[in-house]
């Protein structure tokens, strides 16, 4: 899987670092969430944005999106981040529900990317 360096991949790297910080190094506060299951929405959005930026870096280069590679990356990131939250933080916990939200965000981003890629690059819409 080739990794392209462009503005979208650089944003994906920044987003990844910010995600690691927010999930593992930043302790959660004592304030109640704005609505029930807010954390699930946050996990969905975090992974949607991460995978969308990575997919967009391929779309920008008019290259085939490595759907399986991005899916595996997201799965490893989800499992790793949930494990790290359970192991290394005192105010957070690992959650299967959060992992499911992570993968739903991933799936949504890959679906959107496939639709946009198919409209922009009909010959590049097949997965690697």
* 63-85 residue pLDDT tens: 999 999 999 999 999 999 999 99
- pLDDT, tens digit (0-9, with 9 covering 90-100), for 18-28: 999 988 888 77
Cα–Cα distances in Å, from 57 out to 22, 100, 107, 117?
A: 23, 25, 17, 11
Cα–Cα distances in Å, from 27 out to 16, 77, 89, 91, 95?
A: 17, 19, 7, 6, 16
Q: What's the rounded mean pLDDT across residues 17-42?
A: 87
Reported confidence tier of residue 127, pLDDT bands at 50, 70, 90:
very low
């Amino acid at each position: 899987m080739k990794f392209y360096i462009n503005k979208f991949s650089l944003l994906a790297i920044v987003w990844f670092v910010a995600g690691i910080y927010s999930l593992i190094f930043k302790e959660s506060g004592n304030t109640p969430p704005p609505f029930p299951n807010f954390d699930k929405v946050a996990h969905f959005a975090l992974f949607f944005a991460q995978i969308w930026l990575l997919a967009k870096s391929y779309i920008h280069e008019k290259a085939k999106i490595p759907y399986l590679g991005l899916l595996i990356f997201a799965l490893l990131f989800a499992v790793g981040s949930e494990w790290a939250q359970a192991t290394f933080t005192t105010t957070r916990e690992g959650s299967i529900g959060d992992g499911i939200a992570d993968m739903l965000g991933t799936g949504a981003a890959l679906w959107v990317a496939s639709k946009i890629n198919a409209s922009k690059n009909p010959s590049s819409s097949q997965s690697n």
